[in-house]
Amino acid sequence: MPKLTVGNATVPYRVEGSGPVLVLVHGVGPGSGMWDQLLDRFTDHRTVVLPDLSGSDPAEDDGSPITIEALGAQVNAVIEDTGAGPADVVGFSLGAPTVAAAAALRPDLVRRLVPVAGLSHAGDEYIQQHMTLWLDLASDPEGFGRFATLTALSRAFLNQIGHDAVEQQHAFMGLNDDRVRQIDLVKRLDIRPLLPRIAAPTLVIGATRDQTIPVENHRELFAGIRGSEYAELDTGHVAMAERPDEFVKLVRDFIERP
The enclosing H or E element of 121 equals: none
DSSP state of 8: T
Active site residue 210: yes
d(CA 193, CA 115): 17
Q: Is 76 helix (H, G, I), strand (E, B) or coil?
A: helix
Q: Counting runs of H as helices and runs of E as strands, what totals does the chain give?
A: 10, 8
Which long-range contacts (C-beta less than 8 Å, at least 24 apart) are formed by 147-150?
148/172, 148/173, 149/173, 150/211
Given the residues 93, 120, 154, 228, select the one marked as catalytic.
93
Question: Smallest Cα–Cα separation from 54: which of 9, 108, 5, 88?
Answer: 9
Given the residues 26, 121, 170, 237, select the one marked as catalytic.
237
Given the residues 170, 210, 218, 228, select the one marked as catalytic.
210
Question: Smallest Cα–Cα separation from 100: which of 30, 202, 181, 211?
Answer: 202
Beta strands in 66-166 (DSSP E): 87-92, 110-116
Q: Is 27 helix (H, G, I), strand (E, B) or coil?
A: coil
Contact of 68 with 102, CB cutoff 8 Å:
no
Active site residue 237: yes
Residues 6+ apart with CB under 8 A from 174: 30, 141, 145
Strand order in the sheet with 87-92: 3-6, 9-17, 47-51, 21-25, 87-92, 110-116, 203-207, 229-233
Active site residue 93: yes
Q: Which residues are catalytic?
A: 93, 210, 237
